[in-house]
Amino acid sequence: MIEFKGECGHTIRAKDGDEGKVVRCSYCGREAQVPTSDENELDFLFSELGSAEAGEARGRKPARVKKRPPGGIGPESTRGGFNPFAVAVKMGYGAIIIIVLIVAAKKAHQYLGPMLDRQSSSGQRNSARAADQGEEPAGRPGEPRRGYVCGKLSRRSGILVTAVPADALVRYRELSDRQDLSEVSLFGDPDPQIKEGRAPVTIDHKGSTLSEWEVAVAVPDYDAQLRRYPGYDDLRRRLRDDREGALDNADAYFLPDGAIRLSLVKEPQRPMLLVRTYRVAVTGAHWVLVTALFLPDQPLEQNMPYLPRKRCFGFDEDLAREELGWFEVPADQGQLIIDALQRIGSVTYQDLEDEYLKFSVALPEGTFVGERYTGPLPPGGSPRRGRKSR
C-alpha cells in the first residue's frame, strides 16, 4: 500500500502497483499522481509540515500521522535497519541551516558595521577632547593611570591645592597686575572676592595668558593630627601665649614646602589658625600643584604614618627610580618617596648632606619631577649646597 498527501492535505492510498499513475482523492475529488518510491520518501517528509501549516490556517489540528505498514519506505524504517536516504536528507537540512546563518551574518555586518565604526570614532574623539581639556584619559584596561587620578582637571590649566592634614581649609584669589601679596592673611581679609574650600581644591585658570594667584591653606592649631607630632604641644603653648619668637619657631618646626610665609590668625568666635600662604603663577598651558605640608621637619619615614592612605597620583615609577638614583637617593628612601608622591603628589626630602630636595608630580600628564629645593628655607635652615639638579 502506498500512502501520500494530496493537495488538500488528506492522505491518499494507492496500491503498490499504481506507482506513477493518476488517482482521485476521495475527499476533495481532485486527481493526484501516485509518487514513485523515491518521490514518496520526500513527499512523506515534507507533506506532514504542509499539513500542519494548512491545519493551523483553518484553525484545525494537524492531521494525525499514521504508522506506515511494514515494508514501507519512511524517514526511519520500521524494520530497524539503516536508511541512507534519511541520513542524506538530514544532512541536506543541516547544510541549508548553515547557509542561512552565513547569509544572516553578512547582512548583520552590512547594517551594524558602519554604526560600530561611528561609535569607535566617537570614542576616539572624546579621548582626544579629554586630553585637550586636561582630563585624565581612561587608558587601556590594566594600564596604570597617570596624573591626578582621584578627580578630573576639567580645564586646560589651573591650580590643584592639596594638603596634609588632608581636609585643610583653602582660600584663594587672583592678583591684579603687579599686585603684591597682602600683609594680612586671606583668612583675616574680608574681601568678598576671596573664594574658599576644603582641600583638595581645583582653581580653574580661564585665560590663556600668565596670571598670579594668592593661595592660603590653614589648619586649626588644635588639629588632632598636629597634636600627634613630637614636640608640637610645647610649640602650641608658645603660640597661644604669644611668646616672642614663637612664630619663627613654628616656621622652623614644619617641613618647608615653598610657602611664602607662615601666619597665625586669630578671629573672633573662630579657632586659632596656622596659615601658609603661596604665590602661584599659572599660564594657559599647564597645571600647578600646591601641596601644603603641615608636617614636622624630620626624616620621611617618620612622617609616613601622617600621610593619607588614598593614592591619588600616578606616574612612571621606573623613571622615578632612575631620577632618584641620579639624585643619589638611597633605594630604601626612594621607595618611601614614591609611596609619598602617590598619596600627596609633592614631598620635600632632606638628604644626608642636610640639603632639601623637592620631588613632585607634574599635572595633568603625570610626569615625575625632581629638583633642588628653591623655596624659602625656615629660619636657621641649611644653605643649599652645589649639588646637581635636573
pLDDT per residue as tens digits for the range 258-277: 999 999 998 777 789 999 99
Do 109 and 31 share a structural domain? no
Are 280 and 251 contained in the same domain? yes
* Co-location of 92 and 235 in the same domain: no
Same domain? 301 vs 344 = yes
Q: What is the pLDDT of residue 311?
A: 94
Tell me which residue has cell 584596561: 141
| Range of weakest confidence among 77-81, 215-219, 296-300 | 77-81
> Would you say residue 337 has pLDDT above 60?
yes
Name 211's Cβ contacts closer than 8 Å, sequence gap at least 6: 174, 175, 205, 281, 282, 283
Distance CA(42)–CA(133), nearest Å, equals 70
Looking at the structure, tell me whether residues 51 and 187 fall in a common domain.
Answer: no
> Residue 191: pLDDT band by 50, 70, 90 thresholds?
confident
Residues 101 and 195 in one domain: no
160 and 52 together in one domain? no
pTM: 0.61
Parent domain of 258: 147-372
Domain assignment of residue 68, yes or no: yes
103, 169: one domain: no
Q: Is residue 164 part of a domain?
A: yes
How many independent structural domains does the chain possess?
3
CA-nearest of 235, 321, 312, 314 to 274 is: 235
Quick one: 25 and 126 in the same domain? no
**Interatomic CA distance for residues 27 and 201, integer angstroms:** 91
Same-domain status, 254 and 173:
yes
What are the percentages of helix, strand and coil residues in the chain, rounded to 5? Answer: 35, 25, 45
Model pLDDT, residue 292 = 97
pLDDT tens-place string over residues 86-136: 777 778 888 888 888 888 887 776 666 665 555 554 554 444 444 444 444
pLDDT at position 159, please? 94
Average pLDDT value for residue range 217-245: 93
Q: Give dist(CA 320, CA 389) in Å, integer.
A: 14
Measured CA to CA in angstroms, residue 133 lies from 87, 136, 361 at distances of: 66, 9, 18
Neighbours of 77 (CB within 10 A): 16
36 and 110 co-located in one domain: no
Most confident range, picked from 43-47, 122-126, 184-188: 184-188
Q: Do 204 and 343 have their domain in common?
A: yes
Q: Is the pLDDT of residue 4 over 90?
A: no
Q: Specify the higher pLDDT residue, 31 or 107.
A: 31
